[in-house]
């Protein structure tokens, strides 16, 4: 099974983690000013690159911390050291 | 109206009904640990907070990830960057929470009584690590999980907190509602020993 490196706990089994989707999706500054389509784009639309992808992960069965990691979607390999962010 | 005595339930370990089955396992001695007062402490590790709490609980808080330090009557376990679990077998839970919370509050932290959250099993014997390793993916060999280490991880399908007291002496904290599952899992796994 794949090991994922938690920035706090170190390498742990993949099953201890949950996926949180694309990282750095900014909340709209003026949500009320958006059209329905713009709001739907914020809520539902995500990048789907073939290659490195910055993602949110949570170490659910360990330290319960969220972190951002870059994973290559072609190989499932984590390509950068992950960072703890709150 | 006459004063009637207030009925109180005697405390029983959540695994009391499985005590005999656990004691039947000869390869690894599995003891039901007595209940302890426990608080979950959230606190900025960078400031003066940890030292202030240390003065109240009577021992230093662990600095490195996944390690524990001994307190006069309990353990201080590092659960996360800004989170510790502090136990005491002597203090009353409400006093333990109040004392730690008061110290933490002055530094922007907080402590919450979680005494009823987890129950505990102590595993002793040369095969204790083998038994845990049979349902856990962590490297539990003494060299990588020596005395002083702890870890939150999965045992089977249940989240547990493992504590290394010595080479052949480990403790397992588990959510009370998962304790029965974990005990059954260990008894079952011990058939292979
Ligand atoms: Zn972790």
Facing residue for A61 by CB, picked from B66, B79, B153: B153
- Report, as an integer, the average pLDDT of A12-33: 94
Q: What is the pLDDT of residue A83?
A: 57
Alpha helices in chain B (DSSP H): 19-24, 49-57, 93-105, 128-133, 179-189
Tell me: the pLDDT tens digits for B137-183?
999 999 999 999 999 999 999 999 999 999 999 999 999 999 999 99
Query: What pLDDT, on the 0 to 100 scale, is given for residue B3?
Result: 78
Residue A35, domain CATH: 3.30.2270.10
pLDDT tens, position by position, B38-50: 999 999 999 999 9
Crossing angle, helix B93-105 and helix B49-57, to 10 degrees?
150
* Average pLDDT of chain B to the nearest whole number: 94
Side by side, which strands form the sheet with B110-113? Answer: B68-71, B74-80, B83-88, B37-42, B110-113
Chain-chain contact of A61 with B79 (C-beta, under 8 angstroms): no
Residue to mutate among B40, B44, B45, B65, with most A CBs inside 10 A, is: B65
Q: What is the mean pLDDT of residues A46-54?
A: 94
Is A65 in Cβ contact with B80 (below 8 Å)? yes
CB A71 within 8 A of CB A79: yes
Q: Which residue of B has its CA nearest to A59?
A: B153
Q: Is pLDDT of A85 > 80?
A: no
User: Which residues of A are less than 8 Å from B152 in CB distance?
Assistant: 9, 61-64
Calpha distance B177→B98 (Å, rounded): 26
Domain count of chain A?
A: 1
Distance (Å, whole) CA A59 – CA A19:
9
Taking residues B2-30, what's their average pLDDT? 87
Question: Contact B129/B142 with Cβ under 8 angstroms?
Answer: yes
Residue of A nearest to B150 (CA): A9
Question: E-assigned strands of B50-168?
Answer: 68-71, 74-80, 83-88, 110-113, 118-124, 150-155, 158-166
Residue whose pair of structure tokens reads 């694309």 in the numeric block: A22
* Burial classification of residue B74, based on how many CB atoms lie within 10 Å of its CB (0-12 exposed, 13-18 middle, 19 or more buried): buried
pLDDT of residue B4: 80
Distance, in Å, from the CA atom of A32 to the CA atom of B75, rounded to the nearest integer, reads 50
Q: In the prediction, which pLDDT does B1 show?
A: 59
Whole-angstrom distance, CA of residue B17 vs CA of residue B187: 13
Instruction: Answer whether residue A14 shows pLDDT above 70.
Output: yes
E strands in A1-86? 3-6, 10-13, 18-22, 52-58, 66-72, 77-78, 83-84
Confidence category of residue B193, pLDDT binned at 50, 70, 90? confident
Query: Residue B109: pLDDT band by 50, 70, 90 thresholds?
Result: very high
Query: Which of chain A's residues have a Cβ under 8 Å away from the Cβ of B83?
Result: 63
Range of the domain at A7: 3-84
**Can you give the pLDDT at residue B26?**
85
Q: Is the pLDDT of residue A26 over 50?
A: yes
Residue carrying structure tokens 């659910």? A60
Q: Give the chain B residue nearest A64 (alpha carbons).
A: B80
Q: pLDDT band at A86, cuts 50/70/90?
A: very low
Which domains does chain B carry? 18-34+117-193 (3.30.1360.120), 36-114 (3.30.70.1520)
**Rounded Cα distance, B24 and B18, in Å:** 10
Distance CA B51, CA A5 (A): 30
Share of chain B above pLDDT 70, in %: 99
């Amino acid at each position: 099974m794949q090991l994922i490196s938690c920035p706090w706990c170190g390498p742990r089994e993949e099953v201890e983690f949950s996926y949180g989707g694309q990282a750095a999706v900014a909340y709209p500054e003026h949500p009320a000013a958006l059209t329905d389509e713009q709001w739907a784009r914020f809520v539902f639309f995500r990048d789907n690159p073939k290659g490195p992808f910055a993602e949110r992960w949570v170490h659910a069965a360990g330290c319960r911390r969220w972190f951002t990691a870059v994973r290559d979607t072609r190989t499932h390999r984590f390509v950068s050291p992950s960072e703890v962010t709150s | 109206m006459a004063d009637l005595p207030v009925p109180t339930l005697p405390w029983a370990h959540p695994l009391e009904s499985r005590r005999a089955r656990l004691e039947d396992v000869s390869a690894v001695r599995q003891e039901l640990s007595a209940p302890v007062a426990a608080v979950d402490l959230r606190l900025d590790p960078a400031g003066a907070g940890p030292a202030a709490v240390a003065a109240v609980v009577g021992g230093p808080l662990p600095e490195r990830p996944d390690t524990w330090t001994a307190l006069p009557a309990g353990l201080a376990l590092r659960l996360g960057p800004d989170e510790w679990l502090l136990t005491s077998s002597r203090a009353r839970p409400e006093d333990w929470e109040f004392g730690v919370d008061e110290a933490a509050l002055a530094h922007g932290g907080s402590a919450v009584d979680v005494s009823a959250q987890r129950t505990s099993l102590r595993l002793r014997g040369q095969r204790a690590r083998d038994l845990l390793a049979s349902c856990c993916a962590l490297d539990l060999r003494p060299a990588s999980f020596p005395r002083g280490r702890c870890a939150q991880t999965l045992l089977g399908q249940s989240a547990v907190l493992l504590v290394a007291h010595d080479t052949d002496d480990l403790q397992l904290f588990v959510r009370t509602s998962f304790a029965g599952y974990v005990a059954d899992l260990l008894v079952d796994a011990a058939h292979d020993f």
